[in-house]
Amino acid sequence: MPHTFSIIIPTYNRAAKITHSILSVLNQSYSNLELIVVDDGSTDNTLEVVSSFHDTRVRYFKKENEERAIARNYGIEQAHGDYVTFLDSDDILYTHFLAEAQIVIETYSNPEWLHLAYEIKDEYGKVLRKENKRKGNINDTFITGNHLSCIGVFVRKDIIQKHKFNEDPDIIGSEDYLLWLELASLYTLRYSNIISASMLHHVDRSVINFKKQHLIVRIEKSIHYGLKNPDINNFLKGRISIFIAHRYLYLANHLSRASYKFPAILYYFRSLGHFPPVFFYRNSLSFLKSLFL
């Protein structure tokens, strides 16, 4: 049975980049879709750019600037599709993206959520990394960190209406991880390893630029919200220490790469304190190497 898809693009002052993202949606081989552009208070000519697309499948909404979690939730409220998926305003969907999603949905009889593989490219089109090596049931992998990006994630509308992004501004950058962790605690993630989209890696991405104190607060609060959620807490069961250790290891790695060596070491030892075997994980080795860079 064919399904309808709602693609949500939250955007803020990306008029110069959003055209390619919109075109990648409208050029899908599977055309049963709507594109919801949520303009999160842009001050550039985003409206003019979006209005240039004379396609009834494009729906534009402008709201005051409140950051991406609120913008995505706003888009969810406007969605009419059977499944909702998310696209940043500088990323690209390949023409078979929705067709591949339809195959996964039919294969697994309308799963609650699913993920399609993607690749990461630089601004010159060079492929930096491919995210297409998933095997078996990967739900438990979310205990050690965020192994997805928003690109490629589909959530059935009735599910995403009950489980939305956390809107606390202090956890910007971890709101998607908390949602994936919550969904993983309840529903099996189905996926395809066929690459269907590309993420643009550039210096302006918010995951690259951060302030030390904001990152520390973000990780501490992500731990708090995770343990406060009854579904996540039940999912973690005897593995809470592993979850916390990997949150602190993530923090230590990012602080070290940004040359905040002393606090990085502090959080690395906190990570070891919660779960000593974290020392043997690859991210631990990356941290130790980063101390000498």
Q: For the segment 108-151, what is each residue's pLDDT rounded down to a tens digit?
A: 999 999 999 999 999 899 999 999 999 999 999 999 999 999 99
The pLDDT score that the predictor gives to residue 205 is: 53
Query: Is residue 207 in a domain?
Result: no
Tell me how far apart the alpha carbons of residues 192 and 117 are, in angstroms, rounded to a whole number. 6
48 and 80 co-located in one domain: yes
Query: Is residue 206 in a domain?
Result: no
105 within 8 A of 25, measured Cβ to Cβ? no
pLDDT (tens digit, 9 = 90+) per residue, 201-235?
A: 865 554 445 689 999 999 999 999 999 999 999 99
Sheet-wide strand order for 118-121: 92-93, 197-200, 118-121, 127-131
Q: Please give the model's pTM, rounded to 2 decimal places.
A: 0.94
In degrees, to the nearest 5, what angle opens at C-alpha 187 toward C-alphas 182 and 193? 100
Partners of 113 in the β-ladder? 155
Tokens of 183: 């969904």
Q: What CATH number is attached to the domain comprising 166?
A: 3.90.550.10
Domain count of the chain?
Answer: 2
pLDDT (tens digit, 9 = 90+) per residue, 50-93?
A: 999 999 999 999 999 998 999 999 999 999 999 999 999 989 99
- Which structural domain, as residue segments, surrounds residue 151? 5-200
10 and 91 co-located in one domain: yes
117 and 161 co-located in one domain: yes
101 within 8 A of 154, measured Cβ to Cβ? yes
28 and 87 co-located in one domain: yes
